[in-house]
């Protein structure tokens, strides 16, 4: 094996052992060796390293398999590692401190407007981080990095936002700027991709091998998690379903094409269509009109829900996942639509041969999904580099 590959393997093994301890603690060295196929010597070496560095500790506990024999088990120190997860959206930024278990220790947010520059946003993030550290008494030495999730096409390796229609940004070296201002390693990723990872690691798709997360909110998107890894595609754009064409004779989309999926279901499109009849400023107002039985509001939302069911059919036909997670502002604010969409799926829109091949679940982490996911990605990056 080449030197380069050896180093990579070492880091990868370290991360694997760490993640097994994280997910299955308390656990014995022998059980780790059995699960990973690593030699007992390798496992012991890694556990010793992690102990010295203060990430894990050893306890004298009853091993479940042994008959009364005491065996030493490994446990994680939950706050041994803390990362910062940041969600950047069109109108708001959410910031949270995430422990090794993906718990949110402390969080804050600030409003954004679509004209906000990257500089202003990064400066504001740095300020809020400082405020939260003081407010929640976070141990600074434990913070290993920042992860940012945002809507758009991201070059993860370079830490660059290639472009984000929703933030109005293009070619922004976000990771570098964040590092300059905070002194912390930063990683940037697509919001739905990290959210999907969070749901698969500790949310509604825990244990799934092929899960797809759908996000219905200001944008429309999807993310596929394949055996614990984000499926990225060649330019990290896999899952950008917002601009798949669902009706070539349909409405114009801001991308310059007609009949893109997002024109039927994202919040700005719904509000813009509704406002042709009456000024409707928020998605809450539109749902209130529907609840009041207003004809055009019922039509618009019914059509949106039908297209959401169609989206599920199309995504399932292409990715053939074992589960589909519904998430996003519309699902978070109006949980009743979950059942409506599911009914539409099974009564009308899912191709019959695939009806039993997957389950439809709701996001468990809701509005915390992106900060948890991006925080966990920052921790993974840290363990891979160190």
Does residue 37 bind its own copies (CB under 8 A)? Answer: yes
In this structure, are residues 43 and 56 in contact, taking their beta carbons and an 8 Å threshold? no
Query: Taking CB under 8 A as the rule, which mask of x and - marks residues 310-349 in contact with its own copies?
Result: x--xxx-xxxxxx-------------------------xx
Does residue 279 bind its own copies (CB under 8 A)? Answer: no
Does residue 236 bind its own copies (CB under 8 A)? Answer: yes
Does residue 380 bind its own copies (CB under 8 A)? Answer: no
Do β-strands 82-88 and 143-150 pair in parallel, antiparallel, or remain unpaired? parallel
DSSP 157: T
| Comparison of 34 and 281: residue with beta carbon closer to its own copies | 34
The stretches of 100-173 forming alpha helices (DSSP H) are: 118-135
Compute the CA torsion angle 44, 46, 51, 57 (nearest 10 deg).
-60
Does residue 353 bind its own copies (CB under 8 A)? Answer: yes
**Count of alpha carbons within 13 Å of 114, Cβ hemisphere only?**
7
Among the listed ranges 46-54, 78-86, 130-138, 241-249, the one in contact with its own copies (CB under 8 A) is 241-249
Q: What angle do CA 10, 148, 75 make, to 5 degrees?
A: 45
Q: Residue 18 to residues 95, 97, 198, 210: CA-CA distances in angstroms?
A: 25, 20, 17, 22
Size of the site for its own copies (CB under 8 A): 53
| Comparison of 308 and 377: residue with beta carbon closer to its own copies | 308
Does residue 11 bind its own copies (CB under 8 A)? Answer: no
Does residue 354 bind its own copies (CB under 8 A)? Answer: yes
> What is the smallest separation between the CB atom of 351 and its own copies, expressed in angstroms?
4
| Comparison of 153 and 181: residue with beta carbon closer to its own copies | 153
Q: Does a cis peptide bond (omega within 30 degrees of 0) precede residue 232? A: no
| Residue among 116, 211, 108, 122 nearest 168 (CA) | 116
Interface residues with its own copies (CB under 8 A)? 1-2, 5, 34, 37-39, 153, 162-163, 209-210, 222, 232-241, 243-248, 255-257, 260, 306-307, 310, 313-315, 317-322, 348-349, 351-354, 357-358
């Amino acid at each position: 094996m080449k030197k380069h590959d050896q180093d990579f393997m070492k880091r990868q093994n370290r991360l694997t052992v760490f993640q097994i301890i994280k997910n299955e603690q308390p656990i014995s060295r022998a059980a780790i060796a059995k699960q990973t196929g690593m030699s007992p010597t390798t496992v012991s070496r890694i556990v010793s390293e992690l102990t010295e560095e203060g990430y894990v500790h050893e306890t004298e506990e009853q091993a479940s398999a042994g008959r009364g024999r005491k065996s030493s088990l490994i446990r994680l120190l939950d706050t041994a590692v803390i990362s910062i997860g940041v969600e950047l959206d069109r109108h708001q930024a959410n910031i949270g401190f995430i422990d090794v278990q993906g718990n949110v220790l402390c969080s804050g947010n600030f409003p954004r407007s679509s004209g906000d520059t990257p500089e202003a946003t990064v400066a504001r993030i740095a300020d809020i981080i400082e405020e939260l550290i003081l407010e929640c008494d976070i141990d600074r030495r434990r913070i290993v990095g920042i992860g940012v999730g945002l809507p758009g096409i991201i070059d993860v390796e370079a830490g660059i936002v290639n472009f984000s229609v929703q933030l109005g940004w293009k070619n922004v070296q976000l990771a570098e700027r964040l590092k300059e201002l905070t002194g912390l390693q930063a990683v940037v990723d697509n919001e739905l991709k990290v959210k999907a990872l969070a749901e698969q690691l500790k949310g509604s798709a825990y244990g799934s091998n092929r899960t797809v997360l759908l996000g219905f909110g200001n944008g429309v998107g999807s993310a596929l998690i394949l055996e614990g890894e984000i499926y990225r595609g060649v330019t990290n754009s896999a899952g950008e379903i917002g601009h798949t064409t669902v009706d070539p004779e349909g409405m114009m989309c801001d991308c310059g094409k007609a009949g893109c999926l997002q024109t039927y279901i994202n919040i700005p499109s719904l509000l813009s269509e509704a406002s042709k009849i009456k000024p409707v400023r928020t998605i809450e107002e539109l749902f209130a009109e529907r609840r009041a039985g207003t004809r055009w509001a019922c039509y618009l939302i019914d059509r949106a829900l039908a297209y959401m069911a169609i989206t599920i059919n199309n995504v399932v036909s292409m990715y053939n996942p074992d589960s589909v997670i519904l998430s996003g502002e519309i699902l978070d604010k109006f949980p009743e639509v979950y059942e409506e969409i599911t009914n539409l799926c099974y009564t009308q829109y899912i191709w019959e041969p695939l009806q039993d091949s997957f389950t439809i679940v709701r996001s468990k982490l809701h509005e915390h999904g992106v900060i948890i996911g991006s925080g966990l990605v920052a921790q993974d990056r840290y363990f891979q580099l160190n």
